[in-house]
Structure 1
């Protein structure tokens, strides 16, 4: 469906908000991957998803307008409109980043060569009819365990030609012929999986020598801006879900850090322009920095109601809970196996599939944002984590904080 073809029809606002959340988060990941991997194919997927977001935005707004019957309704639903608008801004910013690749706005030719060796790749692969994976579930394939590669999204086309996205596919998802898989993982695993999915040889991206002496610094900054803006969005939705002013304040701090990082990045681009033969090739880097700032600003908009003490409409929290990747808040039980252990030593992400995005210390005054492998969990800490419902249950068991997350 094209945005211009959208007409009013009764839809679940909760479902629309949940899909907008999942789509916005995927768009951030894909748009930066398109740049860092110099991939026109991934950039095209970003632009298609951006169009899908336009449809969701219109559906959501129409339903919210129809739901307002009184001034009280309008006051409550205004915050929901704010969340819809913020998700749209994230999608538009991701589209702007993708257009840097699609429209050759200007990027150093060797940006891929400046990626850290440990960086994961993201590729697009179409499932062939005779692929060993076609007709099998992800649980049966066991792809991530055997190769380190995971399917982060699937674009599927029905026999009638209608396309739909499966965001964050789970173990029960069965791959079908002509599915377009978005795969993330190390290059060795990517090569194996790509060739199995497509039954065609994998051609690794060409590595070119960089004409810019410290291009690695620019790439590191791009990755950091992506991570920080993505974290800001995650925490923004978490602040609404848990009605937490503390988490919203962390979003505010991250937004300020992204602003500062953007300024430093732009200064680097201006200095680098004097050291290259064609400064125009750096123009896309400025576009990326500006778009990243828009993403962090949108995250702040999502949490703005919490910062102002305005009660969010319950449908927003319900949508976050119903999205494909959920955000949970769990307590570290006093006698649990993770107490006094680091995230890295216990390989929490590997064991549960959950990414811990923040830790609130037991005293309630200190937050650890962007915890890493050396972050130690202490009894009575509160953690905010993101992942699947099954992963949340596994993490809850490890923390002695069992909860039930309905499918």
Structure 2
């Protein structure tokens, strides 16, 4: 990374909140770059990784300045752990992106077998003559009209993470767009003036390699969920959530072993076994992400009080994590998440359900549309503050 980073007074809370949002976006972008074979998105990952390096350095400087005695050092040590874990996530995401940029090798058949559930993600630079240049996201109304979300904007050297309705769009902005491919194609053309050209599927499919897609998506989902739950554990000082993070990390380890075994078996069935080495890189980086999630929640696991600055940073990040109790007679009580179209209607993604029971709490991680919700359940969800209020209305 180029450039000298000098100390300047800064809010540790604000730095931690930005690091959290940046780390989560990095995970999403890096896997999307691989799954869609996008060098443009991979390049944005490295740009964002460089910003994370600056953030973590500034956070470490501010924490060192704040520690004036042994008691301060003891209280701030877990905060340094959170900073270090976010940096590890950033580095792992960069390693995943380099699989695309350095052509380490991912079989084309992997991308051709992408499930429909994995949305398209593209990078689009807003042209000066675009009808959206100078408009706000509310004016453009992209998500309602096309199903496409602007998940981040790079403006020169600055990033706008999780842009909202009032965010203005300017010529030269680099937009990261996510949504169904037909909608993405329309928005890409409207933003850049050029036609969207999706990557061509390979002419020949290799059936043995198609299983890699499920493995990649599962590993990505599990590592991302582990990170979400780790921040939830910190926010709610929840040992139960922290233990779920540990269980997820163990599952990712087991999945990595199966993934490596599959790759070695596949090596004898492909013309160029070297083309499979990117899969090993991805598995290794994914394991690092899940390990970092454990580090974020380690203070909770060890019975240490979560420093208030970390809790406030999680609360004030662009995407909030909320805990919602489902009341008797609530709209959600007795329904499934799919019945009520919770994610579409509220903009909140339920990342876990805790169900109190006589023999201890039961946890449902990675709940899907078919997951039934009962009165007394506790929902952990991630999304915008406005969405959180709508979710509370569904559950109250």
Normalised by the size of structure 1, how large is the TM-score? 0.95
Specify the SS of the correspondent of 1:208: coil
Tell me the equivalent position of 2:97: 98
- The 10-residue stretch of structure 1 (315-324 or 205-214) with the greater mean CA deviation from structure 2: 205-214
Residue 337 of structure 2, aligned match among 333, 343, 363: 343
Matches within 5 A, 1:139-288: 139-157=138-156, 163-210=157-204, 212-288=206-282
Matched, 1:61 2:60: yes
1:72 aligns with 71
- Structure 1 residue 209, shift from structure 2 partner: 3.1
Q: Does 1:296 find its partner at 2:295?
A: no
Distance 2:306 2:332 in 1: 33
Q: Of residues 301, 326, 331 in structure 1, which corresponds to 2:320?
A: 326
> In 1, Cα distance between the equivalents of 2:373 and 2:141?
30
Moved more, 3-12 or 44-53: 3-12
8 Å contact from structure 1 (residues 211, 276) kept in 2: no
**Correspondence for 2:363:** 367
Alignment partners' CA distance in 1, 2:338 and 2:96: 32
Query: Does the CA contact (< 8 Å) of 1:113 and 1:209 recur in 2?
Result: no
SS in 2 for 1:166: strand
- Displacement after TM superposition at 1:322 (Å): 0.8
Deviation at 1:208, TM superposition (A): 0.8
Question: For residues 39-95 of structure 1, what are the alpha-carbon distances to aligned partners after superposition, in whole Å with 9 as ceiling and x for unaligned?
Answer: 111110001111101000100000000000110100010000000000000000000
Rounded Cα–Cα distance in structure 1 between residues aligned with 2:42 and 2:73: 38
Stretches of structure 2 lacking an aligned partner (at least 5 in a row): none
Report how far residue 216 of structure 1 moved. 1.6
The gaps in structure 1 that reach 5 residues or longer are 158-162, 401-407
- Determine the structure 1 residue equivalent to 2:13: 14
- Displacement of 1:376: 1.3
Moved more, 113-122 or 147-156: 113-122
Residues in 2 aligned to 1:152 and 1:365: alpha-carbon distance in whole angstroms = 34
Q: Which moved more, 1:364-373 or 1:260-269?
A: 364-373
Relative to structure 2, which stretch is displaced further, 198-207 or 7-16? 198-207
Q: Assess if the C-alpha contact under 8 Å between 2:108 and 2:201 holds in 1.
A: no
Does structure 2 retain, via aligned residues, the 8 Å contact 1:60–1:84? Answer: yes
SS of residue matched to 2:227: helix
* 1:393 matched residue in structure 2: 389
TM-score, normalization: structure 2?
0.98
The corresponding residue for 1:403 is: none
- Report the alpha carbon displacement of residue 130 of structure 1 after superposing the two structures with TM: 1.3
Deviations 1:266-312 (A, max 9, x none): 00100111111211110111000000000000000001111111112
The answer to whether the aligner puts 1:5 opposite 2:1 as a matched pair is no
Residue of structure 2 equivalent to 1:160: none
Whole-Å separation in 1 of the counterparts to 2:165 and 2:219:
31
Residue 26 (structure 2) pairs with residue 30 (structure 1): no
How many angstroms does 1:116 deviate by? Answer: 1.3
Distance 1:366 1:53 in 2: 36
Equivalent residues of 1:344, 1:374 under 8 A apart: yes
Distance of aligned partners of 1:210 and 1:237 in 2 relative to their CA distance in 1, 3 Å threshold: farther
| Structure 1 position 4, deviation (Å) | 4.1
SS of the aligned residue for 1:165 comes to strand
Which string of whole-angstrom CA distances, capped at 9 and with x for unpartnered residues, describes residues 8-55 of structure 1?
110100011001000000000000011011111111000111110100
Query: How many residues were matched structurally?
Result: 394
Partner-residue secondary structure (3-state), 2:145: helix
Q: What is the rounded CA distance, in whole Å, between the counterparts of 1:204 and 1:45 in structure 2? A: 18
